[in-house]
């Protein structure tokens, strides 16, 4: 219902200029967790690449600017999210024939749909939010279809754990690390097909 509301509101009053279907790999700063039992401490290891898929729409704002609401399935370590992004994009910052450079930045909201393993379900809030930014290159194959390749970094701004009393332990290279306070960070390498409408 939230996804329908977010998308229906802007789409109802503006013309959609394009639809982009995307897939890619996300590298998250939050990896598989481990349990606070025995000698083990609660925390997160580094994460491997995780598949992501999504779709976004181009809504013209005037000039070369466009609002690009998007809906993606994203996995961040043991957690799986349905993520709504609302970036503003600047299209054709640089153009060479059929090749174009685009940039984007804006907020995102993620809602947890599941988690893997017992440790993935413990101490994790249902929602996350943050700010993202990225750039990409598009190449026009025909007048109505283009290939887009790019990268975007989504930085979490809230604590995704529900541990009430964080503690400090010695982390990597002897540096202090706060346990019980985790913000997500996800670098996504994406490829997609853009369909002009």
Interval 36-68: pLDDT, tens = 433 334 444 445 568 899 999 999 998 889 999
What average pLDDT score do residues 113-141 get?
A: 79
Average pLDDT over residues 81-88: 94
What per-residue confidence (pLDDT) applies to 191? 96
Do the beta carbons of residue 114 and residue 80 sit within 8 Å? yes
Does position 152 have pLDDT exceeding 90, yes or no? yes
Mean pLDDT of 108-132: 77
Is 75 in contact with 50 (CB distance < 8 Å)?
yes
Here the tokens at position 147 are 């290939």
Overall pTM surpassing 0.85 (yes/no): no
Q: Which residues contact 7 (CB under 8 A, 6 or more apart)?
A: 57, 69, 71
Range of the domain at 51: 2-10+17-196
Domain count, the chain: 1
What does the chain come to in residues?
A: 197
From the list 91, 90, 24, 84, the residue with the least C-alpha distance to 56 is: 84
pLDDT of residue 94: 85
pLDDT at 126 (0 to 100)? 83
* CATH code for the domain in which residue 184 is found: 2.40.160.20
């Amino acid at each position: 219902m939230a996804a329908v509301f977010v998308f229906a509101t802007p789409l109802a009053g503006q013309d959609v200029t394009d639809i982009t279907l995307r897939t890619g790999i996300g590298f998250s700063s939050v990896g598989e967790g481990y349990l606070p039992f025995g000698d083990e401490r609660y925390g997160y290891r580094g994460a491997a690449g995780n598949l992501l898929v999504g779709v976004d729409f181009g809504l013209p704002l005037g000039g070369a600017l466009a609002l690009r609401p998007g809906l993606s399935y994203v996995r961040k370590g043991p957690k799986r999210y349905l993520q709504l992004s609302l970036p503003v994009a600047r299209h054709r910052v640089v153009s060479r024939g059929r090749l174009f450079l685009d940039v984007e930045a804006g907020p995102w909201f993620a809602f947890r749909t599941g988690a893997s393993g017992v440790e993935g379900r413990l101490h994790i809030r249902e929602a996350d939010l943050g700010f993202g930014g990225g750039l990409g290159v598009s190449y026009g194959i025909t007048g109505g279809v283009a290939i887009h390749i790019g990268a975007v970094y989504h930085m979490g701004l809230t604590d995704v754990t529900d541990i009430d009393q964080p503690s400090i332990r010695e982390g990597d290279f002897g540096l202090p690390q706060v346990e019980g306070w985790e913000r997500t960070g996800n670098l996504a390498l994406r490829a997609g097909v853009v369909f002009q409408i």
